[in-house]
Amino acid sequence: MTKEDLIRVAIFRPGAEPTFEEIQNELKPMQELVGGYIKTLDIGDGLIAVLNEEGKIERLEFNRTVVGPQGYDDLVGTFFVVRSAGEEFASISAWDEALLKAWRPPRRPGGTP
């Protein structure tokens, strides 16, 4: 599979509804978007959250709790969601967009609201 130059992503900023934008499928623009080095988190169904690797250490603002194959995880700071294409990132689909617009993350039992 060839790498897309621009990919459509869902951007989640703390306290805001998601926005949908095209970004360059390159490391530097992704780091700028999340505010630091990136790490990925499988959130299921072929979707990947890309977030600031040191966000919790830097005490970035809480964004939301997600439940993925690894269980519950609190995401902090700005992150974005892409589709996995093997070793590469790919654009989210129109279907993904519709689901992510309506996504209301679960609350951690007894934890973060």
Domain limits, the chain: 6-101
Give pLDDT tens digits for 24-48: 999 999 999 999 999 999 988 899 9
- Judged against a pLDDT cut of 80, whether residue 51 lies above it is answered with yes
- Residues in the chain, overall count: 113
What does the alpha-carbon distance between residue 90 and residue 13 come to, in Å, rounded to a whole number?
A: 20
What is the torsion angle, in degrees rounded to the nearest 10, for the CA atoms of residue 100, residue 57, residue 29 and residue 4? Answer: -50
- Judged against a pLDDT cut of 80, whether residue 68 lies above it is answered with no
What does the alpha-carbon distance between residue 26 and residue 87 come to, in Å, rounded to a whole number?
A: 13
- What are the C-alpha distances in Å from 46 to residues 62, 73, 85, 92? 24, 17, 8, 10
- Do 52 and 35 touch, CB atoms closer than 8 A? yes
**DSSP β-bridge partners for residue 32:** none
- Judged against a pLDDT cut of 70, whether residue 62 lies above it is answered with yes
pLDDT at 111: 53
